[in-house]
Amino acid sequence: MGDHHHGPAKGLSRWLFTTNHKDIGTMYLWFSFAMFILGGAFAMIIRAELFQPGMQLVEPAFFNQMTTLHGLVMVFGAIMPSFVGLANWMIPMMIGAPDMALPRMNNWSFWILPPAFLILASTLFMEGGAPAFGWTFYAPLSTTYAPPSVTFFIFSIHVLGMSSIMGAINIIATVMNMRAPGMTYMKMPLFVWTWLITAFLLVAVMPVLAGAVTMMLMDIHFGTSFFSAAGGGDPVLFQHVFWFFGHPEVYIIILPAFGVVSQIIPTFARKPLFGYDSMVYATASIAFLSFIVWAHHMYTVGMPVAGELFFMYATMLIAVPTGVKVFNWVTTMWRGAMTFETPMLFCMGFLVLFTIGGFTGLMLSIAPADFQYHDSYFVVAHFHYVMVAGAVFSMSAAVYYWLPKWCGKMYSETMGKTHFWISFIGFNITFFPQHFVGLAGMPRRIPDYALQFADFNMMSSIGAFIYGASQILFLYNVIATIVSGKPTDKEKVWEGAEGLEWTVATPAPYHTFERPPAVR
């Protein structure tokens, strides 16, 4: 035990009992990748069934279980934990801290995740099957008509909600309390800023989700009437409570992605980020607005017109700060000395495709138009442009960008670029046609469809298989880098990179800043 301050412990206990932010970040990242593969496998089943019209491979009930679990696993298991892992690794290094503020709780918030997902995945083998009511679990599908496994689903949501809240509290305490002397708020890297704001969102809305599933639990087992009109409640109440959580949740997913892109683009444009202050204010504005737009997910449910109008205008307002961000990213590149390494390529992909997803979001925000688009494949296309081309692309960019710093090895640029182009093309083949079938009237979450949608669906499925395969290449590339990548000990792996994480040795030492660094 004598030299525990200088390096990690050996064996399994290093990972089980660790309090080190880098170990915990690594576990978060690997866990989220495992969930990404699992959720991706569910998606492949969905796309295989939809390859042709008619029922070929799976039963409709099982198909519904797949759409449900695909959404839940991707949102709560893949995307959110991946950014928490990134926060764990990078925030202490970026603000000059020795570790996260509350290291033991940090380990706890990771370790309750895998069992929570084990419980969720085990519902597949329970009597009555896994939850089949969609990742949004609307009542009464999720209460009166739910399979018994819904109870396990509810408790797994509780547990992973606890994990998110503890992770968020840790990040807030770290950012507010652990910055090195001189690291004022307005000098923080933008990734830290976006995560601080994300953490506020998490602490504010994860408890509301806990409230929603608790009401479900009571309705199912203890005879309350929250979501039953017969007892004086209202199924629409569920949608309000859920989306009060669910809309900020969208920004919980995308704000850290904004942070990543804001770190990478300046590096490869070799220019400081354009409009740093306005980026911070735009992020905060988006977070604030996210609390007052939730009902734009429910235009067709039968709201008073005043409500429809309020939520429509408030939603459109979000385009302003988002526009500020896109403008700043583009302007950062203006007359920059640009190079296009893999992280930058993924950021370019992010910029173009996320903007498309933003525009379709703007279309969906128009209440009368949404009556046509609602619950169609247009919505599916929209949120995959935001979730996959937004969050997942920026996550891939982040991995390529910081992997050399993490493990002291360079990844293969050829393989990285191949991964990008296959993902980019596969992604667009998958989701671009879904705009068309959606506008033509194909509803989401169905195992079979009318014949006129056949061609576009086949394209979608082929694209999905290509995109899925490209992630295997990603996995291979990361492992190959760690095992046999070209060693590098340059502190500044990228010549244009700025920030404290590039001032420490490569690979980053187990304990980064024993004493706070000087911040200019």
Partner 1 sequence: MTTQSSAEYEKYYVPEKSKLAVCATLGLVTSTFGAANVMNDMTFGDGTTGSSWGIFLVGLFIFSATLFGWFRMAIKENLAGLNSAQLKKSYVLGMFWFIFSEVMFFLAFFGALFYVRNLVGPWLSGEGDGGRMNHLLWEGFQYAWPMPQTPQEAVGGVANQPIANMGTFQSYEKSMAFSDAAAWYLWLPLWNTIILLSSSVTVHIAHLGLLNGNKSKFNLWLGITVVLGMVFVGLQALEYYEAYAHFGLTLNSGIYGSTFFMLTGFHGFHVLMGMTMLLIQWLRSVRAGHFTADDHFGFEASSWYWHFVDVVWVFLFLFVYIL
Nearest CA-CA partner of 354 in 414, 317, 395, 314: 395
Q: Is 305 in the site for partner 1 (CB under 8 A)?
A: yes
Rg (CA), the chain: 23
Among 148, 272, 323, 509, binds partner 1 (CB under 8 A): 148
| Candidate list 22, 47, 271, 325, residue with the active-site label | 325
DSSP type of residue 453: G
Identity of the residue numbered 161: G
Q: Is 309 in the site for partner 1 (CB under 8 A)?
A: no
CB closer to partner 1, 86 vs 178: 178
Give min distance, CB of 151 to partner 1, in A. Answer: 4
| Candidate list 23, 49, 219, 249, residue with the active-site label | 249
Give the residues across from 410 on adjacent strands.
486
**Active site (annotated) includes residue 445:** no
In contact, 33 and 82? CB cutoff 8 Å: yes
CB closer to partner 1, 152 vs 465: 152
**Active site (annotated) includes residue 240:** no
Site for partner 1 in 178-237 (CB under 8 A): 178-183, 203-208, 210-212, 214-215, 217-226, 228-234, 236-237
Q: Is 428 in the site for partner 1 (CB under 8 A)?
A: no
- Supply 180's token pair: 């090195």
**Active site (annotated) includes residue 342:** no
Q: Is 52 in the site for partner 1 (CB under 8 A)?
A: no
**Active site (annotated) includes residue 412:** no
Q: Is 511 in the site for partner 1 (CB under 8 A)?
A: yes
Terminal-to-terminal C-alpha distance of the chain: 37
Give min distance, CB of 444 to partner 1, in A. Answer: 26
| Candidate list 15, 22, 47, 99, residue with the active-site label | 99
CB closer to partner 1, 166 vs 257: 166
Query: Could you give the CA distance from residue 347 to residue 266 in angstroms, rounded to a whole number?
Result: 11
| Candidate list 262, 332, 376, 512, residue with the active-site label | 262
Give min distance, CB of 60 to partner 1, in A. Answer: 22
CB closer to partner 1, 184 vs 335: 184
**Active site (annotated) includes residue 70:** yes
Site for partner 1 in 275-304 (CB under 8 A): 302-304
| Exposure string over 232-252, b if 16+ CB within 10 A, otherwise e | ebebbbbbbbbbbbbbbbbbb
Identity of the residue numbered 61: A
| Residue 297, SS3 per DSSP | helix
Taking CA atoms, 294 is separated from 161, 212, 249, 455, in Å, by 19, 15, 10, 34
Q: Is 313 in the site for partner 1 (CB under 8 A)?
A: no
CB closer to partner 1, 101 vs 273: 101
Binding mask 62-101 for partner 1 (x = CB under 8 A): -----------------------------------xxx-x
Q: Is 368 in the site for partner 1 (CB under 8 A)?
A: no
Give min distance, CB of 204 to partner 1, in A. Answer: 5
Give min distance, CB of 245 to partner 1, in A. Answer: 8
- Supply 31's token pair: 């866990």
CB closer to partner 1, 111 vs 449: 111
Query: Could you give the CA distance from residue 247 to residue 498 in angstroms, rounded to a whole number?
Result: 33
Among 28, 33, 36, 111, binds partner 1 (CB under 8 A): 111
> Which residue in the block uniquely carries the two structure tokens 């596969």?
426
**Active site (annotated) includes residue 262:** yes
Among 54, 55, 60, 177, binds partner 1 (CB under 8 A): 177
Could you tell me which residues come within 8 angstroms of residue 225 by beta carbon, excluding any fewer than 6 positions away? 219, 231, 232, 233
Q: Is 124 in the site for partner 1 (CB under 8 A)?
A: no
In contact, 149 and 131? CB cutoff 8 Å: yes
In contact, 354 and 363? CB cutoff 8 Å: no
Q: Is 6 in the site for partner 1 (CB under 8 A)?
A: no
CB closer to partner 1, 56 vs 122: 122
**Active site (annotated) includes residue 297:** yes
- Supply 170's token pair: 């840790």
Identity of the residue numbered 221: H
Q: Is 249 in the site for partner 1 (CB under 8 A)?
A: no
- Supply 380's token pair: 């599916």
Could you tell me which residues come within 8 angstroms of residue 333 by beta carbon, excluding any fewer than 6 positions away? 265, 269, 271
| Candidate list 22, 70, 179, 419, residue with the active-site label | 70
Taking CA atoms, 174 is separated from 236, 257, 374, 458, in Å, by 38, 20, 41, 48
Give min distance, CB of 43 to partner 1, in A. Answer: 27
CB closer to partner 1, 66 vs 212: 212
| Candidate list 21, 296, 419, 445, residue with the active-site label | 296
CB closer to partner 1, 116 vs 261: 116
Pairing between strand 409-410 and 486-487? antiparallel
Query: Could you give the CA distance from residue 406 to residue 506 in angstroms, rounded to a whole number?
Result: 7
In contact, 292 and 312? CB cutoff 8 Å: no
Q: Is 48 in the site for partner 1 (CB under 8 A)?
A: no
Q: Which residues are catalytic?
A: 70, 99, 135, 163-164, 247, 249, 251, 262, 296-297, 322, 325, 444
